[in-house]
Amino acid sequence: MVEKGKVSKEPYLELLKTLEEAENKNLVDWNAMNIATVCQNGQPSSRMVLLKKISDQGISFYSNFSSRKGKEIDLNAKVAVNFWWRELKKQIRIEGVISKASEQDSDAYFDSRPIKSRVSAIISNQSSKIESYAVLTNQIEEYLSKNDESSIKRPKHCGLYLISPNAIEFWKERDNRTHERLKYELSLENKWESFLLSP
């Protein structure tokens, strides 16, 4: 489920329209996106995450703040995101700055998750080395047996990230490599400017 907040202006309207096109076609993991971060020595890394919210403020996903991506984000808040839907022949590229969403939004999302996902988020030390998956499963079962559901609260190391874009490119496949590229960039005056790019 993707929460849709207030979306009232371009390029967010186009972004939402494309996401809804993918959703309405029931594409598997239509809200999956790749996010790239960069570590201190300049090495980029990327991974898939699921979009959870879109609004005029930007786009959000849920993760572990102490994971590899979380540690990289702590040192460099510049990120790049990529969506691609084969069936739509569309790609969307986003660049921007990432921050933690409000505690309130993170709590609300955490509380909406199934109990095992909540406990797994508490137990899992995402991106750290582990001995075996059996150990992890046992820890989850032990936690579940010792704790009442009402006592399960979002741990501080998990929550929603908010990406505030400063560039969004809409790419549409066309015949004979004449693909369309419409790019929006946020100007220094905080206004969105758009232009076409050669394929």
CA distance 103 to 99: 12
- From CA 65, how far away is CA 67, in angstroms rounded? 6
**Residue 124 CB, nearest distance to ligand FMN (Å)?**
10
User: 106-145: which residues touch ligand FMN (CB under 6 A)?
Assistant: 126-127
Q: Which residues 34-93 are close enough to bind ligand FMN by CB under 6 A?
A: 45, 47-50, 61-64, 67-69
- Residue 32 CB, shortest distance to ligand FMN, in Å, is 4
Ramachandran angles phi, psi of 197, nearest 5°: -120, 150
| φ and ψ at residue 155, rounded to 5 degrees | -75, 155
Q: Between residues 85 and 184, which has the closer beta carbon with respect to ligand FMN?
A: 85
Residue-wise burial string across 117-149, b where 16 or more C-beta atoms lie within 10 A, e elsewhere:
ebbbbbbbebeeeeeeeeeeeebbeeebeeeee
Per CB under 6 A, 157 contacts ligand FMN:
no
Output 34 or 164, the one with its CB closest to ligand FMN.
Answer: 34
Q: How far apart are CA 104 and CA 41, in angstroms?
A: 34
* Min CB(20)–ligand FMN separation in Å: 19
Residues forming contacts to ligand FMN in the complex (CB under 6 A) are 29, 32, 45, 47-50, 61-64, 67-69, 126-127
